[in-house]
Amino acid sequence: MLTWAEIDVNAISHNLHQIESKVRPAGAGILAVIKDNAYGHGAVEVAKITAGVPVKMLGVAMIEEALELREAGIDLPILSLCCILPNQAEEVVRHDITQTVCELSICEALSREAIRLNKQTKVHIKIDTGMGRIGVQCDEAIQLIRNAAQLPGIAVEGISTHFAVADTDEDFTNLQLERFNSVISCLNDAGIHIPLRHAANSAAIMGLPDACFDMVRPGLMIYGLYPSEQPSEIQLKPALSLKTRIVHLKTLPAGRSVSYGRTHTTEKPSVIASLAIGYGHGYNRKLSNTGEAIIRGIKAPIVGTVCMDQCLCDVTHIPKASVGDEAVLIGRQGDEEITADEVAQKVGTISYEILCSINARVPRIYKRV
């Protein structure tokens, strides 16, 4: 194998346990967010790892993702976090997927299917407290919950909201929290009891204990990354390493250009390694002339433009570098480390996107050390 992502299974369990001990005092359970193939870590495998930790539910973005889990025999409750259209109601009901809803028309479609299939289906009502993405507006929430609860075949199991700036703006986050709390107290006044109230993503778990409610929804933290640079007592271990190998080595004289567009020219005689990874694996083209690899425990710069399947690396300062050597693009080797956050910074994005970009072509290898 030339290019692969190595997933440290123990790191994922460790991170889940860290989250668990952080939210335990608040009495909250965990919904493990494993959308987008568990942020590139492999949804089915991560779902299996959660079996060893008290995880209440799994969260996905697409119905197809939920079906993949069901087909793999995962029988934990699954919450579909995004909106669906009425023609997806049948699959949701048939496979016992809990659906996030913010419109009555979807509740009605789910109710029709539940009656037809002789099942009960659970919904969580999403409330827009300031994210402005999906969710019923706060002043319409109680009415929607009442209407949904009256539909046959429907159980309103949860209400939720999502924070826009939990890691960067305390005032706005508190305002969102207040709005959510006021919906909750209206429900209490109306005698409506909803068992699962949830709001906190990773950033809120880190910084906002009041947002834990009955359940928290960590994504990024499970994979060992911090949503922001705020100091934290939680110790997370990054779970994913991205690795490839040197497949060709050559010594070039000074003044020779490498790769498309001739964006790099050797200044002195240089040893240039060809690595078996490119943007077609999800190694971003913006890493051209800025990325780094670790080879034999030493960092080496990516030189020239990243191609679809290959890129080049200057290993002049690593005399022992050889064809077949492992090159680490994200992760540790020896005393050196390249974090997903560092890569993200170079690309001008966030660690989430770096992880999610590692595509299906890259085999995932699970390490249980």
Ligand X SMILES: *Cc1c(COP(=O)(O)O)cnc(C)c1O
Residues annotated catalytic, as ranges: 35, 260
Number of residues counted as binding ligand X (CB under 6 A): 12
Verify binding: residue 42, ligand X, rule CB under 6 A: no
Verify binding: residue 217, ligand X, rule CB under 6 A: yes
Q: Which of 81, 330, 340, 347 binds ligand X (CB under 6 A)?
A: 81
**For ligand X, which is the closer residue by CB, 203 or 272?**
203
Residues forming a β-bridge with 302: 313
Verify binding: residue 33, ligand X, rule CB under 6 A: yes
Verify binding: residue 202, ligand X, rule CB under 6 A: yes
For residue 220, the one-letter residue type is L
Distance CA 368, CA 7 (A): 9
Verify binding: residue 259, ligand X, rule CB under 6 A: no
- Residue 215, both tokens: 């359940």
Q: Alpha helix (H) ranges present in 198-260?
A: 202-207
Q: Is there a contact between 173 and 163 (Cβ–Cβ < 8 Å)?
A: yes
**For ligand X, which is the closer residue by CB, 203 or 311?**
203
Verify binding: residue 130, ligand X, rule CB under 6 A: no
Distance CA 366, CA 239 (A): 10
Question: What 3-state DSSP class applies to 55?
Answer: strand
Q: Which of 201, 266, 288, 357 binds ligand X (CB under 6 A)?
A: 201
Q: Which of 56, 124, 162, 281 binds ligand X (CB under 6 A)?
A: 162
Q: Which of 254, 287, 283, 259 is nearest to 271 (CA)?
A: 254
CB of 186 to ligand X, least distance (A): 22
**For ligand X, which is the closer residue by CB, 107 or 355?**
355
Verify binding: residue 278, ligand X, rule CB under 6 A: no
For residue 144, the one-letter residue type is L
Verify binding: residue 243, ligand X, rule CB under 6 A: no
Exposed e or buried b per residue across 5-39, where buried means at least 16 C-beta atoms within 10 angstroms of its C-beta = bbbbbebbbbbbebbbebbeeeebbbbbbbbbbbb
Q: Which of 153, 158, 224, 227 binds ligand X (CB under 6 A)?
A: 227
**For ligand X, which is the closer residue by CB, 33 or 236?**
33
- Residue 361, both tokens: 């072509």
**For ligand X, which is the closer residue by CB, 219 or 282?**
219
What is the DSSP code (8-state) at residue 349?
Answer: S
Residue ranges in contact with ligand X by CB under 6 A: 33, 35, 81, 162, 201-203, 217-220, 227
